[in-house]
């Protein structure tokens, strides 16, 4: 392929980035600037124009979706030869290395990769053994500490040294938990996600000859989303890049938003210090958003001090001004968003609602439901987290890896086979006493009466089935066929039908069918589909795609989950001080800067229209907060904004609009032609604030007295509480007077139609 064909269609800066073939290179890629295109063309250029063998290139990214897209696009450009390249996530690449060389660290090639739930189960067992109080040592806290230690490359021994002289004795107990947790993983021949990187770095450090062989193999290293790398990923990249230093990293310091999970923005900010000969190229032309949206986002991010600096621009049209809605409360904010969506000619799938915290989604779910607008929440219960799916995967894991005691423990009595808690505890006690795995203990049941009665016979039968399925796996049985045989062998579908109501049973049986379908689809893409390879795939994939339906739906998600996505129309809600930015960010400048970057990410997801909103009063986490608009709103120039009412009508008089410089400019028809005067933030007001407060106070008073006898007091969107059904939201009012009925969506009890005359309701606002 000619060089000109390789760079055809690229802008001059993208072209420069592609042709820079050797030495360290930092590509600062702004939002929507075509970074994936640059990476793909660069790979094609190295192979076809520079003569680099595909197996000498490794491209690392963070999500399976990004890796899959990159693989497909490279294959389209250069053909099947791309298959010998490593284009994958950090975790997948490390798992591949450890499968080949893990015996050097003491685990087999068939090690299990534990999910969050399996990690939790192991930690709970350790808490029990150490007689720790779960309230003092919550599993989430322990898991977070261990994950952070691994992200920093800190072993249990190193962590014990770190906290040895700590004033808080609790940390020394945490060190003991970390030590026992790692031992538990080893006993089960298992690794967690943090281990995949931690052990790969340890492997290279302990075996220099192995590291040298991988350095020799990977002559060119490309890293996507470099701003999201943590300490252990930074070390891994550094080890592989020497001595050739043919390292190309692509990222955007303005989109570094994951410090809470270990990402270090200093990795991208200090790249030129780490590699003094590095070349820096900035991709600043945006192909996604309108010029107005980009100008607004640029003004928000410009207030940050710790950044490399760049300004996005576009040749796209200016587009609409950024909409601003200043709501009385969260119900008012929801009404505005839902009405704009319901009256639009766009398909629901073109809209996204972004919020700072998951708790904010509830009211939008209810509002969209009332208007029968389909929606999806990104981050709900994932397919592979569903109980029946986890049960079958546990069977497959035990067939694949006999040392996986946690998975074996899960299936001992699923489906129910008369194995009670006492029998399980006896098995565990025997295993601990004789230093055996749970599987070895199970095999001894044939010759020793460790437990008696029906439970013993059932477990012997289970062990026989597992051995049979292992033989089938060794004979080359496809994973989908093996899974189907397990479902039939244990009578799983019949058990689900017997132990669930018909609707729930059908849903769970459909999930089983979907799992079998998912395995078959995976098999179709593999040369040699094996059970071990499938289980690794499941452990590492992001399975949101399994929840997608053909129906177009509004997307609801936290802004953290929005990174890398784009939508025609975006609602960025809850822009209030104390919520976004959050109160905790006030304590440290670096946290406040990350909040600002998060806002920038949310804004730059919008292609054509961007709506911003804030509430004067918000009830969240059981508290009512009196809020000021977010400082991020105040960074946006007036000329880029339009103030809307709930119906989308623009306020020409614009009594209040945020302005740059941490102040507000008060404008009115009466002062037209006069110089605008700055006002302090505390003077910011909201339209109809007094009227809304008066109406709410009257309604609350009537509700508290229990004498509400007029349906109009309970308008659509009112929040209420029922003495039996709990909190809910009024979806509508039917009838009037004594015949009035309220259509209410209760948070925990579903939708109900209640007579206003009889129902005992408390008005909440």
Over residues 140-165, mean pLDDT: 94
At 347-405, the pLDDT tens digits run 999 999 999 988 788 889 888 988 989 998 886 556 777 889 999 999 999 999 999 99
- Range from 363-377, 561-575, 750-764 carrying the lowest mean pLDDT: 750-764
3-state SS track over 291-327: HHHHHHHHHHHCCCCCCCCCCCECCCCCCCCEEEEEE
Where residue 622 falls among pLDDT bands split at 50, 70, 90?
A: low
pLDDT, the chain, mean:
85
Rounded to whole angstroms, how far apart are CA atoms 339 and 345? Answer: 12
What's the pLDDT score for residue 694?
A: 40
- Res. 712: pLDDT tops 70: no
Backbone torsion region of residue 648, taken as left when φ is above 0, otherwise alpha when ψ lies between -120 and 50, otherwise beta? left
Looking at the predicted structure, is the pLDDT value of residue 333 above 90?
yes
Mean pLDDT lowest among 55-64, 272-281, 653-662: 653-662
Q: What is the pLDDT of residue 698?
A: 40
Render 95-108 in DSSP notation, one character per residue. HHHHHHHGGGGT--
- Number of other CB atoms surrounding residue 211 within 10 Å: 17
Tens of pLDDT, residue by residue over 431-467, are: 989 999 999 999 998 888 788 888 999 999 999 999 9
C-alpha span between 419 and 71 (Å, rounded): 47
Residue carrying the six token digits 């129309």: 569
Q: What distance in Å separates the CA atoms of residue 192 and residue 199, rounded to the nearest whole number?
A: 10
Lowest mean pLDDT among 27-41, 519-533, 693-707: 693-707
User: In this structure, how many other beta carbons lie within 10 angstroms of the beta carbon of residue 372?
Assistant: 7
State residue 241's pLDDT score.
96
Whether the Cβ atoms of residue 640 and residue 295 lie closer than 8 Å to each other: yes
What is residue 481's predicted lDDT score, i.e. its pLDDT?
94
- The torsion of the CA quartet 94, 95, 97, 98, rounded to 10 degrees, works out to 120
User: pLDDT value at position 589?
Assistant: 93
What 3 state SS string does 161-200 have? HHHCCCCCCHHHHHHHHHHHHHHHHHHCCEECHHHHHHHH
User: For residue 711, is pLDDT > 70?
Assistant: no
pTM of the entire structure?
Answer: 0.75
The pLDDT assigned to 204 comes to 97
- What values do phi and psi take at 567, rounded to 5? -140, 150
Instruction: Choose the weakest-confidence range: 242-251, 599-608, 617-626, 708-717.
Output: 708-717
* Mean pLDDT score, 458-484: 95
Mean pLDDT of 327-343: 94
pLDDT > 90 in the chain, percent:
63
Q: Is it the case that residue 237 has pLDDT exceeding 90?
A: yes
Q: Identify the top-confidence range among 317-331, 681-695, 704-718.
A: 317-331
Instruction: Tell me the backbone φ, ψ of residue 626, rounded to 5 degrees.
Output: -95, 115
Torsions phi, psi for 76 (to 5 deg): -65, -35
Regarding predicted confidence, which is higher, 161 or 527? 161
The pLDDT of residue 710 is: 41
The pLDDT, as a whole number, for residue 709 is: 34
Q: Which residue has the higher pLDDT, 670 or 562?
A: 562
Residue-wise pLDDT for 722-734, tens only, equals 766 777 777 778 7
pLDDT at position 380 is: 56
Q: At 254, give phi and psi (nearest 5°).
A: -75, -5
620 and 362 in contact (C-beta within 8 Å)? no
The one-character DSSP state at 588 is -
Catalytic residues: 35-36, 224-225, 255, 605
> pLDDT band for position 175 (50/70/90)?
very high
Going by their DSSP bridges, the two strands 351-355 and 606-615 should be labelled as unpaired
Q: Tell me the DSSP string of 621-639.
A: TTEEEE--B-TTGGGS-GG
Is there a contact between 377 and 351 (Cβ–Cβ < 8 Å)?
no
Q: What is the pLDDT of residue 82?
A: 81
Q: 183-224 pLDDT, tens per residue?
A: 999 999 999 999 999 999 999 999 999 999 999 999 999 999
- Burial letters 525-545, b for 16+ CB under 10 A, else e: eeeebbbbbbbbbbbbbeeee
Compute the distance between CA of residue 360 and CA of residue 574 in angstroms, rounded to an integer: 8
Outline where DSSP puts E strands in 514-640. 554-558, 567-572, 606-615, 617-620, 623-626
Q: Give the pLDDT of residue 765.
A: 62
- The residue with greater pLDDT, 709 or 125, is 125
Rounded mean pLDDT, 314-327: 95
Q: Span 61-75, mean pLDDT?
A: 91
**Lowest mean pLDDT across 32-41, 553-562, 642-651:** 642-651
Q: Angle CA(201)–CA(206)–CA(210) in degrees, nearest 5? A: 80
Percentage of the chain lying above the pLDDT 70 cut: 87
Q: Which residue has the higher pLDDT, 546 or 45?
A: 45
Can you give the pLDDT at residue 723? 66
Q: Residues 279, 26: contact at Cβ < 8 Å?
A: yes
If you ran DSSP here, which 8-state letter would residue 616 be given? S
- Cβ(731)–Cβ(295) under 8 Å? no
Model pLDDT for residues 255-299, shown as the tens digit of each residue: 999 998 899 999 999 999 999 999 999 999 999 999 999 999 999
H-helix or E-strand containing 433? helix 421-433
């Amino acid at each position: 392929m000619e060089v000109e064909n390789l760079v055809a269609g690229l802008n001059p800066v993208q072209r420069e980035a592609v042709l820079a073939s050797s030495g360290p290179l930092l590509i600062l890629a702004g939002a929507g600037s075509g970074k994936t295109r640059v990476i793909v063309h660069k790979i094609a250029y190295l192979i076809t124009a520079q003569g680099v063998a595909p197996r000498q290139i490794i491209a690392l990214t963070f999500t399976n979706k990004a890796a899959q897209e990159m693989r497909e696009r490279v294959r389209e450009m250069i053909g099947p030869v791309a298959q010998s390249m490593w284009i994958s996530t950090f975790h997948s690449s490390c798992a591949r290395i450890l499968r080949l060389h893990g015996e050097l660290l003491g685990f087999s090639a068939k090690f299990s990769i534990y999910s969050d739930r399996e990690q939790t189960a192991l930690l709970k067992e350790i808490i029990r053994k150490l007689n720790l109080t779960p309230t003092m040592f919550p599993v989430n806290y322990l898991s977070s500490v261990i994950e952070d230690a691994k992200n920093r490359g800190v072993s249990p021994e190193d962590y014990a040294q770190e906290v040895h002289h700590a004033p808080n004795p609790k940390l020394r107990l945490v060190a003991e938990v970390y030590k026992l947790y790692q031992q538990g993983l080893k006993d089960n021949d298992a690794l967690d996600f943090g281990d995949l990187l931690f052990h790969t770095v340890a492997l290279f450090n302990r075996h220099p000859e192995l590291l040298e062989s991988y350095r020799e193999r990977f002559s060119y290293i490309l890293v996507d989303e470099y701003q999201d790398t943590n300490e252990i990923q930074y070390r891994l990249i550094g080890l592989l890049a020497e001595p050739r230093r043919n390292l190309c990293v692509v990222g955007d310091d303005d989109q570094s938003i994951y410090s809470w999970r270990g990402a270090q923005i200093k990795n991208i900010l200090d790249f030129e210090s780490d590699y003094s000969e590095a070349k820096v190229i900035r991709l600043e032309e945006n192909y996604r958003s309108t010029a107005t949206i980009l100008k607004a986002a640029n003004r928000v991010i410009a207030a940050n001090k710790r950044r490399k600096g760049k300004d996005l621009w576009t040749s796209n049209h200016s587009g609409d001004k950024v909409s601003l809605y200043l709501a009385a409360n969260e119900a008012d904010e929801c009404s505005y968003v839902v009405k704009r969506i319901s009256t639009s000619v766009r398909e629901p799938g073109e809209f996204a609602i972004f919020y700072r915290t998951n708790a904010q989604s509830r009211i939008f779910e209810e509002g969209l439901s009332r208007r029968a607008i389909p929606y999806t929440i990104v981050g709900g219960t994932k397919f592979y987290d569903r109980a029946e799916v986890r049960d079958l995967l546990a069977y497959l894991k035990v067939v694949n890896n006999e040392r996986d005691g946690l998975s074996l423990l899960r299936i001992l009595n699923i489906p129910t086979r008369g194995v009670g808690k006492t029998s399980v505890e006896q098995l565990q006690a025997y295993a601990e006493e004789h230093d055996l795995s749970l599987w070895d203990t199970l095999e001894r049941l044939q010759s020793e009466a460790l437990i008696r009665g029906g439970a013993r016979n059932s477990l012997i039968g289970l062990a026989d089935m597992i051995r049979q399925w292992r033989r089938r796996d060794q004979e080359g049985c496809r994973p989908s066929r093996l899974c189907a045989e397990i479902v039939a062998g244990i009578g799983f579908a019949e058990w689900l039908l017997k132990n669930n109501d018909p609707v729930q049973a059908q849903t769970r049986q459909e999930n089983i069918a979907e799992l079998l379908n998912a395995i078959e689809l995976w098999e179709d893409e593999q040369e040699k589909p094996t059970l071990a390879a499938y289980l690794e795939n499941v452990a590492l994939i992001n399975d949101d795609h399994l929840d997608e339906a053909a129906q177009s739906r509004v997307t609801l998600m936290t802004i953290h989950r929005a990174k890398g996505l784009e939508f025609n129309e975006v609602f960025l809600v809850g822009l209030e001080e104390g919520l976004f930015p959050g109160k905790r960010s006030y304590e440290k400048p670096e946290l406040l800067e990350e909040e600002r970057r998060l806002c920038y990410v949310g804004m730059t997801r919008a292609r054509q229209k961007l709506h911003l909103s804030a509430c004067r009063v918000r009830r969240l986490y059981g508290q009512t907060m009196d809020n000021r608009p977010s400082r991020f709103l105040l960074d946006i120039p007036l000329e880029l904004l339009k103030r809307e009412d709930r119906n989308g009508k623009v306020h020409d008089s614009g009594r209040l609009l945020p302005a740059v410089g941490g102040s507000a400019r008060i404008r009115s028809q009466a002062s037209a032609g006069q110089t605008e005067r700055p006002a302090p933030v505390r003077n910011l007001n909201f339209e109809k604030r007094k009227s809304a407060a008066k109406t709410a106070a009257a309604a609350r008073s009537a509700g508290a007295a229990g004498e509400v006898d007029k349906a109009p007091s309970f308008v659509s969107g009112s929040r209420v509480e029922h003495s039996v059904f709990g909190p809910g939201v009024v979806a509508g009012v039917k009838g009037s007077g004594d015949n009035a009925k309220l259509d209410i969506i209760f948070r925990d009890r579903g939708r109900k139609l209640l007579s206003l005359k009889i129902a005992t309701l408390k008005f909440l606002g």
